[in-house]
Chain A
Amino acid sequence: MADNIDKVKYLIIGNSAGGIGAAEAIREVDKTGSIAIVSDEPYPAYSRPLISKYLAEKCSLERMLYRPADFYEKNNIKALLGRKIARLDVDAHLVEMADGEKLGWQKLLVSTGGLPIIPPTKGIKSEGVFSFLTLDDAKAIDQYLKHASRVVVIGGGLIGVSVTEGLVKRGVDITIIEMKERILNVMLDEEASAMADKAVRKAGVKIVTNHTVAEISGEGGVSSVTLNDGTAIPCDMVVVAIGVVPRVELASGKLKTNRGIVVDRFMATSSPDVYACGDVAEAYDFIYGMNRVTPVWPNAYMGGRVAGFNMAGVSTEYRGGTAMNSLSYFGLDVASAGMVMPLDAGYEVLSARYGNIYRKVLLKDGFVVGMVFVGETEKSGIAYNLMKDQVKVDGFKKALIAREFGLASLPDELWRPRIEAPRREFVPPVAVKEPGEEVAVE
């Protein structure tokens, strides 16, 4: 192999939450090792969830930036943006770009994210059919809105609701087609879905559940979709928002892959020196006690952070993530995490409704394994962390769904040690900063 191939210590494929999380962790512990980030998107890291806002009000790229404009320069990171990797060679520790250039690495992170699921529906390749995952998708939709006033959104999940929120503000007529019996059926239970349904419809959006799109029709564009029961819905644009699948193409045949790239608790793949995180990875889920794909932003960042430390030689274990989402669309705040519907009769469900506020926790053997908060989500993190820390909640479970829920609802030992100053005897000598300014304890 030629010696003139460029080589970096850390190569990160993917420039979103996971990749940035890794780069930031590496720089915390290794200030000088060379880092390169490659992405086929031409933009500095931006907040993917904000593409809905871009669609709504064309907010500037600057406002969407996930990190300040000087992030790469300041952290001494070589950003190879708008570059596609054609091939990964794990044995030779190389990647080959689409333009033929090769790049060597010592440690590699695959954080390539997901790809939109595109069903094999007739007409799916027509002009006027879009997916909604990247800024370029949002830009393409924005441009096409010149020709469109009626939009069909296929899929009533997170992506579908998110694109709908953006489109509503553009004043177009929207119909969501959801295959199952209710929208947001993965992240919400029935009651919360019904609340979301009401909020979305109130904005003038039509929702058709229990149906699929059998065909997209039109000449030189879209003129209608036909549902599986034969109903035709006239429209000039279709957004496919069914979900994402791990983007594993580089890893296929080289790294152990199930649905996503399988990683251990250190975010390491089956191949030495290669790590994976984010939507492409199948990492530990602390609720299910097994590896799962949980394509959400916070898990991507945390997985990336853990991978970054391990790549830099600081052994760090991933505590695990689980499905979790917080949304504020159509004037409704919704947060959920873990299991939102019981799998069988072995679960205890506690729920309460206070007007527009709904709260539910799912327990198994006295531990929280799932939660849904609607209408008021500001204290949802207290419940989320009881779940994550695996705190037994039998003794105070009713407090979790009480109207007045807060840190003070928990037993003393769960909050006192964290927010109270330690008693005098435990205060280390460095505690008092200013002479004469005694720390008041007791």
Chain B
Amino acid sequence: MKRIYVNEQVCMGCHLCEVHCQLKHSQSSDMIKAFKGEDGRPLPRLRIEERKPVFFSLRCQHCDEPACVYACLTGALRKDPQTGIVTVDENKCVGCWTCALVCRFGAVVPDKNHHRMVKCDLCPGEDVPVCVANCPNEALIYAEIEQPSPVKV
């Protein structure tokens, strides 16, 4: 499957990926409304990791062996056998954060207001996820790369 990879050496931590992710997952898809009008700013499904001068943008890696899916207490997390995308059913998630306890990337984003997790969905309907498409420095790469050694659970 195609995944999002980073090129840390050219990431300057501008947070544009985050802004576009928020916009994409907002109700209105309107930048001003999404950030100033909607009931609670939409959450980005990625986060910027930094240890200056190191920056990179991090989100769910849709692991081949998804520890979060196996650990999920409610069955809210699934890995689509066809696309490989790991999805969360936000109506089933109760926010126990067991997924966070097993995610080696620390990629789980808790939505504490609604007490459920949100995650990268690789932007359904888009050819290229919006974080990648809007990265000014090509610090994000959307590509199908055979994983040299799939992460074992």
| Residues of A participating in the B interface, judged by any CB pair closer than 8 Å | 21, 47, 49-50, 53, 63-67, 297-298, 301-302, 305, 319, 324-328, 333, 335, 337, 377-382, 384-385, 406-409, 416-422, 426-428, 430-433, 439-442
Select A49's contact among B55, B74, B110, B146, beta carbons within 8 Å.
Answer: B74
Contact B7 A440 (CB under 8 A): yes
Query: Any chain A CB within 8 A of the CB of B123?
Result: no
B86–chain A nearest beta-carbon distance, Å: 14
Cα separation A441 to B143 with both chains bound (whole Å)? 11
Select A408's contact among B51, B74, B108, beta carbons within 8 Å.
Answer: B51
Cα separation A333 to B100 with both chains bound (whole Å)? 11
- Residues of chain A with a CB closer than 8 A to B138's CB: 440
Give 16 CB contacts A-B under 8 Å: A66-B75, A302-B153, A326-B96, A328-B115, A333-B110, A381-B103, A385-B102, A406-B47, A406-B106, A407-B58, A408-B51, A419-B61, A421-B143, A439-B141, A440-B7, A441-B141
Cα separation A30 to B100 with both chains bound (whole Å)? 31
Query: Any chain A CB within 8 A of the CB of B148?
Result: yes
Contact B146 A430 (CB under 8 A): yes
Query: Any chain A CB within 8 A of the CB of B8?
Result: yes
Segment among B20-28, B29-37, B87-95 that sits at the interface with chain A:
B87-95
Contact B98 A298 (CB under 8 A): yes
Select B61's contact among A67, A418, A441, beta carbons within 8 Å.
Answer: A418
- Residues of chain B with a CB closer than 8 A to A297's CB: 71, 73, 98
Contact B96 A327 (CB under 8 A): yes
Question: How many contacts between A and B, using CB within 8 angstroms?
Answer: 151
Contact B73 A49 (CB under 8 A): yes
Select B101's contact among A324, A407, A430, beta carbons within 8 Å.
Answer: A324
Query: What total of chain B residues lie within 8 Å of the partner, measured CB to CB?
Result: 49
Select A381's contact among B2, B95, B105, beta carbons within 8 Å.
Answer: B105
Contact B101 A381 (CB under 8 A): yes
Contact B106 A426 (CB under 8 A): no
Residue in chain B with minimal CB distance to A24: B70
A407–chain B nearest beta-carbon distance, Å: 5
Select A419's contact among B96, B99, B105, beta carbons within 8 Å.
Answer: B105
B71–chain A nearest beta-carbon distance, Å: 4
- Residues of chain B with a CB closer than 8 A to A50's CB: 73-74, 94
Cα separation A407 to B47 with both chains bound (whole Å)? 11
Cα separation A396 to B104 with both chains bound (whole Å)? 17
Seed contacts A63-B92, A377-B100, A419-B58; 4 additional CB < 8 Å A-B pairs:
A64-B74, A381-B101, A426-B148, A433-B2
**A382 with B7: in contact, given A326-B98, A427-B145, A439-B143 (CB under 8 Å)?**
no
- Residues of chain B with a CB closer than 8 A to A439's CB: 141, 143, 145
Residue in chain A with minimal CB distance to B102: A381
Cα separation A319 to B5 with both chains bound (whole Å)? 27
Select A326's contact among B100, B141, B143, beta carbons within 8 Å.
Answer: B100
Residue in chain A with minimal CB distance to B49: A408
Cα separation A410 to B55 with both chains bound (whole Å)? 13
Cα separation A381 to B96 with both chains bound (whole Å)? 13
Cα separation A416 to B58 with both chains bound (whole Å)? 12
Contact A421 B101 (CB under 8 A): no
A72–chain B nearest beta-carbon distance, Å: 14
Residue in chain B with minimal CB distance to A440: B138
Cα separation A63 to B56 with both chains bound (whole Å)? 37
Contact A409 B75 (CB under 8 A): no
A44–chain B nearest beta-carbon distance, Å: 11
- Residues of chain B with a CB closer than 8 A to A380's CB: 97, 100-101, 106
**A422 with B145: in contact, given A50-B94, A297-B98 (CB under 8 Å)?**
yes
Cα separation A440 to B74 with both chains bound (whole Å)? 39
Residue in chain A with minimal CB distance to B100: A378
Contact A418 B105 (CB under 8 A): yes
**A407 with B144: in contact, given A302-B153, A335-B97 (CB under 8 Å)?**
no
Select B95's contact among A302, A319, A328, A440, beta carbons within 8 Å.
Answer: A328
